[in-house]
Amino acid sequence: MKIFRTLSEKPWIPHPAGSEFLAKNYQKEIFIGRTALRFFISVVSVIFFLFTITFLTRSQFPDFQALAGEPWQPLSDASHLWLNTGALLISSIALHWAHVSARKNQLNGAIASVMIGAFFALLFLLGQILVWKQLIELGYYVASNPANSYFYLYTSVHGLHLLGGLFALAYVTLQLMKKNSLVTFSSSVRLCAVYWHFLLILWLFLFALLTSSTDTINIIAQLCGF
Amino acid sequence: MTHIAIADQPEEELHEPSSFVTKYIWSQDHKVIAIQYSITAIFVGLVALVLSGLMRLQLGFPDSFSFIDPSAYLQFVTMHGMIMVIYLLTALFLGGFGNYLIPLMIGARDMVFPYLNMLSYWVYLLAVIVLMASFFVPGGPTGAGWTLYPPQAILEGTPGAGGGILLMLISLAIFIVAFTMGGLNYVTTVLQARTKGMTLMRMPLSVWGIFIATILGLLAFPALLVSAIMMLLDMTVGTSFFMPAIVSLGEQLDYSGGSPILFQHLFWFFGHPEVYIVALPAFGIVSDVLSVHARKNIFGYRMMVWAIVIIGGLSFIVWAHHMYVSGMNPYFGFFFATTTLIIAVPTALKVYNWVLTLWRGNIHLTTAMLFAIGFIFTFTHGGLTGLFLGNVVIDLPLSDTYFVVAHFHMVMGVSPIMVLFAAIYHWFPKITGKHLHTGLGKAHFWVTFLGTYAIYLPMHYLGFLGVPRRYYAMGSTEFVPDSAQDLNASITVSALIVGVAQLIFIYNVIRSLRKGEKAESNPWGAASLEWQTPDTPPKHGNWGPALPVVYRWAYDYSVPTAKQDFIPQNMSEEEVERVDDSETSSTEGGEDVKNIGDEPVGDNP
């Protein structure tokens, strides 16, 4: 483990092993961006982890009624959510493709992929809003049951993160127009793609959690000790 | 040298400011942002100081001040706590000192994301403005206690239950956004922008403390964000995350089934690491100040780093010791008592190492050093009472008494403030190019140091008597003797004196800025990089044409064979002037250069 080797260095001895420190891998923008993104993804993961802890705790109170399980419950038929998931998946793949095209120096391919990625991300957000509308029409308001509250909370916080990602993507694309450097664009859009993959995985997790039946949630909660 | 640091790469823009506005207001320079953070934080800190004075007036001389009614008192308590912990201490240590010191200490030209850094300050300022606005909304600021426990925090009857709590929660959320922007910057800068030769284990402990505290902040503040968002929803759209079925003012509310305890867990999952978000930078900074002014290397550098890392890790598994009285499972309490006591081990190790750094050192009792030594005292006292409170059986009777108030003020009120003052007195010459007045500084120290003991020692005793905290007035309480009131009056007088004494400091700063003695670039003879800048105060870009190259750790003080009593980090082995061999043999401990770090060094050669 590198971290333990680092922590066991003895800096007071005049020429420790670490003095060979050459900033080879360091101090390039790509590494800076990658480090920052890793920390940011950790922060977002912690946020959703904590939401989930509260979700599992709250689910053990008697008034909690999961949104799926029985046929009359709205998310038992999750076809809309599956469509949205498909849109997010396409968006994620498109951004990855944008990175690959930029690396191969294909400007048109890169631009087209970014546009497709952004379009499907927006489609996903729109789809989520439609699901909200559907739920409201069925009488599943935000405050009528904690499961509903969590559905709206999870989807909106997740959506806001995707929206933030779209702003970053727009910035990256504008930089490309301004500086016309595909090399920079390739590394920046790669960060966007990684963030998108993260949001996709996060969404798959939320999707599974929110469409679980009461029994499944109870089992998970018991496994976690609630 | 094939190494090209980021700042030297041609495409890197240095954001050279061109006008007054870009230089001092919309600045992207980490030093200017640090000063903006510091001034804002100190300003809100003064507001909170005044609030504490008002609280003490009520407690010391009840019924003498008509403008302090029970609601106002609770509002003072709440705002005092919240401002001091988050908007002053967190912002000043990380936004202020973190911003100023990280790039200078690791040899970078700026933070890696200067624009984000600037944004972080302005968003922080927005959070402060929203918080201050709550003083002016109908009903005033929230009076729910700084812990903001639901259900009472958002129910009618609690002071500021309307606009006050709303603005508080929004302000906290904004603060967390600001902190996350700043925090990502600090960790990325430490990991990716260190200059050549600056290995992680050569970083000064200040940077280590700030670095680990920032990671803690990034992982702990989300808990506060989550609880703030969920409470906001409970309040505004009527969800029942935390709100149980409840009758308020004779009326059944629409809430049902929520769990207030859940909020407590979330809050303290943030709240306890928050203690270390404040304490770790203090630990780091005090280590550097002690080492410089005792002219000795810090004792046990590696242990100090390990302790910082271990404390940081442990701080996430002790939170429920704030909740022993919430009716938790006894085994749960046992677990948290154990982890709490374990955390005392690395902490005690740090205290021993500070004392051993002073041992046989060539101690210069500068103002900074006085504050640093004062910190060892106050922190030890606060830490020892923490051992009492960490045990469930002792905590139960002492919970919510003045003993707790005394404990946490000693350990995370006074102690970090001591370090902040040490840091300001220590780095002021570098930041401004002027010396602070020593006489005024020492007066400030002695009044503050002795004053805090006059305030908080009696509070321990009040706690043993069973005087409850957060009470506006005692009423007719039989178990508390009348003499407790005399003690309260004396505490109030001391508190007011200490509060007013801070004006000495402010006067000292203003006076020194205007006509202070001019400081040379390295007045304390410190070895770390920030003292080796070509200009004092450092100019934009910090290092002139070329970045420094680091050859050693930051603690080469009183090296036996060296002529000077310190060797700067950027001085190579060839450049060090050595004393002649004949002199060496007569110098104590001079035979073995390799062991310099392990040998206690005597008086200055």
Q: pLDDT by residue (tens digit) across B320-369?
A: 999 999 988 888 899 999 999 999 999 999 999 999 999 999 999 999 99
- Which residues are CB-contacts of B310 (< 8 A; sequence separation ≥ 6)? B346
Q: What is the pLDDT of residue A186?
A: 87
Together in a domain, B555 and B468: no
CB of B605 closer than 8 Å to CB of B558: yes
- Which residues are CB-contacts of A2 (< 8 A; sequence separation ≥ 6)? none
Residue B41 lies in a domain: yes
Together in a domain, B33 and B148: yes
ipTM of the complex: 0.92
Nearest to A11 among B184, B194, B553 (CB): B553
**Which tokens in the block code for residue B458?**
């009696």
Identify the closest residue of chain B to A149 by CA–CA distance. Answer: B239
Nearest to A54 among B4, B6, B230 (CB): B230
Q: What is the DSSP letter of A62?
A: T
Three-class SS state of A186: helix
Mutate to test the interface with A, among B199, B310, B578 (most CBs of A within 10 A): B199
Q: Is the pLDDT of residue A188 over 50?
A: yes
Q: Which of B298, B324, B350 is the last residue of a domain?
A: B324
Residue B270 lies in a domain: yes
Judged by CB atoms within 8 Å, which residues 29-48 of A form the interface with B? Answer: 29, 31-32, 35-36, 39-40, 42-43, 46-47
Count of structural domains within chain B: 4
Together in a domain, B398 and B546: no
Higher pLDDT, A50 or B19: A50
Identify the closest residue of chain B to A2 by CA–CA distance. Answer: B200
Identify the closest residue of chain B to A29 by CA–CA distance. Answer: B6
Helix extents (H) in A60-181: 79-103, 107-137, 146-179
The boundaries of the domain holding residue B565 are 533-605
Q: What is the pLDDT of residue A30?
A: 73
Residue B554 lies in a domain: yes
Contact A8 B239 (CB under 8 A): no
Give chain A positions within 8 Å (CB) of B213. none
Q: What is the pLDDT of residue B544?
A: 86
Q: What is the pLDDT of residue A28?
A: 65
Residue B227 lies in a domain: yes
Q: Write the pLDDT tens digit of every residue in A5-41.
A: 888 888 887 665 444 555 444 456 778 889 999 999 9
Nearest to A61 among B3, B185, B257 (CB): B257
**Which tokens in the block code for residue B561?**
């064979």
Phi first, then psi: what are they for B577, rounded to 5°? Answer: -80, 125
Q: Which of B297, B324, B351 is the last residue of a domain?
A: B324
| CATH numbers and ranges of domains, chain A | 30-223 (1.20.120.80)
CA A225 to chain centre: 27
Q: What is the DSSP letter of A180?
A: -
**Residue whose C-alpha is closest to residue A110's, from A31, A193, A197:** A193
Contact A47 B297 (CB under 8 A): no
Q: What is the pLDDT of residue B588?
A: 45
Together in a domain, B192 and B210: no
Angle at A65 between CA A62 and CA A69, to 5 degrees: 130
Q: Which of B174, B196, B218 is the last residue of a domain?
A: B196
Residue B356 lies in a domain: no
Q: How far apart are CA B38 and CA B33, in angstroms?
A: 8
Cβ pairs A/B, distance under 8 A: 154
Q: Which secondary structure element, helix H or strand E, spans residue B248, and what is its range?
A: strand B247-248
Together in a domain, B277 and B375: no
Together in a domain, B183 and B239: no
Q: Average pLDDT in the A188-202 region?
A: 95
Together in a domain, B157 and B288: no
Percent of residues, chain A, with pLDDT higher than 70: 92
Together in a domain, B506 and B554: no
Q: Which residues of chain B carry a pLDDT beneath 50?
A: 1-12, 584-605
A7 in B contact zone (CB under 8 Å): yes
Together in a domain, B421 and B556: no
Q: What is the DSSP letter of B247?
A: E
Together in a domain, B385 and B488: yes
Contact A35 B192 (CB under 8 A): yes
Together in a domain, B225 and B281: yes
Nearest to A23 among B3, B309, B597 (CB): B3
Q: Long-range contacts for A178-182 (Cβ within 8 Å, ≥24 apart)? A: A182/A102, A182/A105, A182/A107, A182/A110
